[in-house]
Amino acid sequence: MTMKKGFTLIETLVAVSLLTVAVVAPMTLTARSLSAAYYARDQITAFHLAQEAVETVRNVRDGNILQNALGASVDLLTGIPSITGQPFTVDTRNGSMTQCPVTCPPLKTDGELYGYENGSPWVATRFTRTVRAEPVSGNDDEVRVSVTVSWRSGSFQTRTFTISENLYRWIADSSVSGGGGDDTASGNAITFSVPGQYTFLVPEYATSLVVKLWGGGAGGGSEASGSAGDGDPGGATSITVAGATRTAGGGQGGRGGYSGGGQGGAGGTATGGTVNTPGNSGINTTSAAGGAGGSAPGDGGAGGVGGNNTAGSTGSAPGAGGGGGDEGSGTIHGGGGGSGGYVSRTYSAGSLSAGSQMTVVVGGGGLGGTGGGPGGAGAPGRVEITWE
């Protein structure tokens, strides 16, 4: 009988197993390589989509800086739909921004650009771009812009990519800044009139620049006895550039009628300017009425009128002292508050370079003495900057 050789079942199984490993391993490696390549492609797309949104938001801020440089008074963050963390979309083709009701819609494409256009040839993509802007804790002049791009991969896994950038109000604008902000600009001039701290950059085209400072006026005294009858002092106004500070001091408060004899407060000091004029003292009380507040020098405000059976009146801005009060009894009433000092400084061409930073502080007005026949409040200081 003739015996024929062949494969046993075990040999066949071993051969099939080896063949499976030889085929499946490269296929798995290829599949994973393709998945990694697709992820890298999508991640690059997500990076560019996020970056262009950040640049668009920054461009809005920079455009507002240009408007301020040309004489307008615009908040540098005007045009951003929300700076409180609410989501919004950015269409980078035209710079339009729209706040999202709950979640933001997916981006669309026409095959070349991304946007939010409706109709042919625009079709929805796998990418959703969500933009948020919110203030940095402890700094009202710094906003963090975050952009998150999310998409679904081939395995239906949601992936995200996020970048962020901080934007600053780095020049004076119409926003609230520091302790409060209200500046106005017209042509080649800007005025800071609300107490607080600001930053001003010397314009590129300025050949000369004049700064005028008025310190805050002090409050007038009341007829009351004790420390409550004395008016509060005004705050100092200053400007600092290249380490040098010019200061218009605040006036001293008028004394209360029965705590300080109704003496008028001294005027504020003035240092560091081309012109330095101390503030005017408040007027002492008379037997009939409270003393008048000191008028501010340098075309500043008029002092408040002393009360006659009434409260003293408020000093006029900038920098005047409040009038002393009169309750209507006795012969000693509140003294007038002193005015703030006045400083003027001229910077000629070459003494300051374009873009130099000036730190501006506007002093507040002092409150009047309380109690019977209250004193009038002093007026806040002011900073005026003009250039050619």
Burial 113-125 (b: 16+ CB within 10 A, else e): ebbbeeeeebeee
Query: Using CA atoms in the order 71, 73, 79, 80, what is the torsion angle rounded to 10 degrees?
Result: 120
Average pLDDT score over residue span 26-31: 68
The answer, yes or no, to whether residue 256 has pLDDT greater than 90, is no
**How many Å apart are CA 139 and CA 86, to the nearest integer?**
19
**How many Å apart are CA 249 and CA 218, to the nearest integer?**
11
**How many Å apart are CA 4 and CA 10, to the nearest integer?**
17
How far is residue 13 CA from its own chain's centroid? 76
Least reliable range by pLDDT among 223-227, 288-292, 334-338, 379-383? 223-227
Query: Using CA atoms in the order 78, 80, 86, 90, what is the torsion angle rounded to 10 degrees?
Result: 170
The DSSP-derived string for 243-260 is: TEEEEEPPPPPPPPTTTS
pLDDT at site 252:
93
Query: What confidence tier does 6 reach under pLDDT thresholds 50, 70, 90?
Result: low
**Among candidate residues 151, 91, 79, the one with its CA nearest the CA of residue 117:** 91
The answer, yes or no, to whether residue 182 has pLDDT greater than 90, is no
Q: Which comes out higher in pLDDT, residue 297 or 191?
A: 297
Average pLDDT score over residue span 78-101: 87
The answer, yes or no, to whether residue 199 has pLDDT greater than 80, is no
The answer, yes or no, to whether residue 293 has pLDDT greater than 70, is yes
Spell out where the chain has E strands: 88-91, 96-99, 106-109, 114-115, 123-136, 139-152, 158-168, 183-185, 189-192, 196-201, 209-214, 237-241, 244-248, 270-271, 275-277, 342-347, 357-362, 382-387
The answer, yes or no, to whether residue 235 has pLDDT greater than 60, is yes
Q: Which comes out higher in pLDDT, residue 57 or 371?
A: 57
Q: Which comes out higher in pLDDT, residue 172 or 376?
A: 376
**Among candidate residues 277, 258, 279, 234, the one with its CA nearest the CA of residue 332:** 258
**Per-residue pLDDT reduced to its tens digit, 343-362:** 998 887 666 666 677 788 99
**How many Å apart are CA 192 and CA 202, to the nearest integer?**
15
**Would you call the peptide bond into 121 cis, given omega within 30 degrees of 0 as the criterion?**
yes
* Max CA separation in the chain (angstroms): 151
Three-class secondary structure of residue 337 per DSSP: coil
pLDDT at site 7:
57
User: Which residues, at least 6 apart from 286, have a Cβ–Cβ distance to it below 8 Å?
Assistant: 306, 333
The answer, yes or no, to whether residue 382 has pLDDT greater than 70, is yes
Query: What confidence tier does 185 reach under pLDDT thresholds 50, 70, 90?
Result: very low
Beta strand 96-99 with 139-152: parallel, antiparallel or unpaired?
unpaired
Least reliable range by pLDDT among 64-68, 159-163, 210-214, 361-365? 64-68
Q: What is the 3-state secondary structure (H, E, C) of 45-71?
A: HHHHHHHHHHHHHHHHHHHHHHHHHCC
Average pLDDT score over residue span 295-310: 90
**How many Å apart are CA 135 and CA 146, to the nearest integer?**
11
pLDDT at site 180:
36
pLDDT at site 177:
38
How far is residue 276 CA from its own chain's centroid? 31
The answer, yes or no, to whether residue 51 has pLDDT greater than 90, is yes
User: Model pTM greater than 0.75?
Assistant: no
Query: What confidence tier does 149 reach under pLDDT thresholds 50, 70, 90?
Result: very high
pLDDT at site 277:
93
Query: What confidence tier does 237 reach under pLDDT thresholds 50, 70, 90?
Result: very high
**Would you call the peptide bond into 26 cis, given omega within 30 degrees of 0 as the criterion?**
no
> Beta-carbon neighbour count of residue 189 at 10 Å?
13
